[in-house]
Amino acid sequence: MAQIKRALMVGMARSGMAAALLLSAKGAIVRLSDRKSREELGDVLEPLSHIPGVEYRLGEAPETLLDDVDLVVLSPGVPLDNPVVGAAQARNIPLIGELELAYRNARGRLIGITGTNGKTTTSTLVAEIFKNAGKMSYLVGNVGFPYSAIALDTREEDVTVCEVSSFQLETIREFRPQLSAILNIVPDHLNRHGTMAAYQSLKERIFENQREDDVLVLNYDDPLLRESATRAPCRVTWFAREGQPPGGAFARDGCILWLSQGEERVICDTADVRLPGPHNLENALAATALAMEGAVPAPVIRHTLRTFKGVEHRLEAVRELDGVWYINDSKATNVNSSCRAIESMTRPTVLIAGGSTKNEDLVPLARAIQGSSIRHVVLVGEIAEDIARALDQVGFAHYSRAGMDFERAVLMARSLAGEGWNVLLSPAGASFDLFRDYEQRGEVFRRIVNGLS
């Protein structure tokens, strides 16, 4: 990457901070921009407090801060309709995202994983597989550390597993994983991307710079991804829970199998996968395909699938109290993800649902509730009434309202659950109505549950 003398960093969340530190380490003067003031950001800026050459221009419009700048870097949360984008383009100033910045400064093998649901679980599982294979394995992106935080530490022999969001893919230029995967595509973030076609196109950007000797792993059971395969410039392999792909990882007769060059081999029994639910079998299959394509020995994959416990905020068992299991699925921020969690419940369950809107159709959620082990729904947050209308539409009347009081929702769920039941937090909405992010929502759920007596 060419020497950058002065860069404008727009957005000072976690990724923005990491990018600013990387730019400074490369010798650039970094001009910081965020809509919040220095006082509002508080301790967020502490890592930069002893770094020379940092300019604080917080609370100012970023499009007015472009003088003498030779690079603009956007945090993933900054949309492309921000005025700074057009202003930079008008002045021919290069503009990239934090992900692209990190990629240009990193070494080693890169595995990029995107999709609507399952990214975090699959990325964490893949990183664990490579770690168990003896590799230095970094887990970055939407999970773990920002890519920029570890980019300068990577070596040629290391493996970086990057969970990639559609927001991050908006601003890539050269970003090229040697192994990539798209797990699934269902409606999400349409409040930002507008249409499903635009959303799918963004997801497909993960493979736009791949080459003939690179590999793209796709979900054979997803018709949209079969279509995506026709546009891939690299070799495509598959994973499938239901279908029989021409090659890749698939499930049949209670086994996970790997098919390559016409030869099948058994990796393990599907019952060996420790994580519950059909969606986690899909995640395990995707991880198996990536690992096999990455030349990881099958026994290492088998061992990891048998021992991997999952990730925080994704069907995370928090506590059992009075015969009731409390399950934290705060990362279910869209309808499809919550439907998958609902399908995983094998005991009578009280569901806590609701959050901020993503402009999704909520009727599929209501239908999933109607045909499942959900016995009652406690509605909370901005989209509570929208979910209630969807439940009315399908004839499911067993729901209660907790308004905008999250703790009340948890306590109501406790009062409704009997011995041998579950209480499942799976919101089907974003967290921004009541919380900073889904992680804070899950942490508050855990705190309330662990405080019950």
What is the predicted pLDDT for the residue at 192?
60
Of the ranges 163-172, 209-218, 388-397, which one carries the lowest mean pLDDT score?
163-172
Q: Which of 43, 76, 93 is the last residue of a domain?
A: 93
Residues 157 and 12 in one domain: no
Confidence check: pLDDT of 368 > 60: yes
Question: Could you tell me the strand order of the sheet in which 255-260 lies?
Answer: 137-141, 159-163, 109-114, 179-182, 215-219, 235-240, 248-252, 255-260, 263-269
Q: Into how many domains does the chain fold? A: 3
Q: Are 428 and 324 members of one domain?
A: yes
In terms of domains, do 123 and 151 share one? yes
- Amino acid type, 39: E
**How far is 275 from 118, CA to CA, in rounded Å?**
12
In 3D space, the residue among 329, 320, 321 whose CA is nearest the CA of residue 351 turns out to be 329
Residue range 104-113: mean pLDDT, rounded: 98
Domain that residue 39 falls in: 6-93
pLDDT band with cut points at 50, 70 and 90 for residue 234: very high
Tell me the backbone φ, ψ of residue 334, rounded to 5 degrees: -145, 170
Same domain, 376 and 286: no
115/86 same-domain check:
no
Q: How many Å apart are CA 236 and CA 41, to the nearest integer? A: 44
Within 10 angstroms of residue 177's Cβ, the number of other Cβ atoms is 25
Matching residue, tokens 């003939």:
212
26-85 pLDDT per residue, tens? 999 999 999 888 888 877 788 888 888 899 999 999 999 999 999 999 998 888 889 999
- Asked whether 239 and 291 are in contact (CB, 8 A), the reply is no
Q: Does residue 1 fall inside a structural domain?
A: no
Flag whether 60 is in a domain: yes
- CA dihedral angle for residue 351, residue 354, residue 358, residue 363, rounded to 10 degrees: 50
pLDDT value of position 190: 52
Task: Report which DSSP code applies to 45.
Answer: G
Q: What pLDDT score was predicted for residue 272? A: 93
| Residues 226 and 280 grouped into a single domain | yes
What distance in Å separates the CA atoms of residue 284 and residue 304, rounded to the nearest whole number?
10
What is d(CA 288, CA 221) in angstroms, rounded to the nearest whole number?
16
Q: First-to-last CA distance in the chain?
A: 57
* Residue 82 C-beta-side C-alpha neighbours within 13 Å: 24
Percent of the residues in the chain that have a pLDDT greater than 90, as a whole number? 77
User: Residues 439, 326: one domain?
Assistant: yes
Assess if residue 62 is contained within a domain: yes
**End-of-domain residue from the set 93, 120, 135:** 93
With a pLDDT cut of 70, the percent of the chain lying above it is 98
Are residue 123 and residue 225 in the same domain, yes or no? Answer: yes
CATH number, domain at 444?
3.90.190.20
Query: Beta strands 159-163 and 109-114: pairing type?
Result: parallel
Lowest mean pLDDT among 105-109, 198-202, 388-392: 198-202
Position 187 confidence tier, pLDDT thresholds 50, 70, 90: low
Q: What is the pLDDT of residue 183?
A: 96
353 with 426: CB under 8 angstroms? yes
Rounded to the nearest integer, the mean pLDDT of the chain is 93
Q: Is the same domain home to 204 and 333?
A: no
Q: What is the pTM of this model?
A: 0.79
pLDDT of residue 188: 57
CATH of the domain at 180: 3.40.1190.10
pLDDT at 194: 58
The reported pLDDT for the residue numbered 189 is 56
170 and 78 in a common domain: no
Can you give the pLDDT at residue 49? 81
- What does the alpha-carbon distance between residue 15 and residue 98 come to, in Å, rounded to a whole number? 7
Confidence of residue 14 (pLDDT cuts 50, 70, 90): confident
Q: Does one domain contain both 34 and 82?
A: yes
Asked if 133 and 39 sit in the same domain, the reply is no
CA-only gyration radius of the chain, Å:
22
2-11 confidence digits (pLDDT tens)? 688 999 999 9
Residue 26 forms beta bridges with which residues? none
Residue 241 pLDDT greater than 90, yes or no? yes
Are the beta carbons of 73 and 93 closer than 8 angstroms? Answer: no
Out of 33, 68, 93, a domain closes at: 93
Asked, for residue 320, whether it belongs to a domain, the answer is yes
**pLDDT (0 to 100) of residue 128:** 96
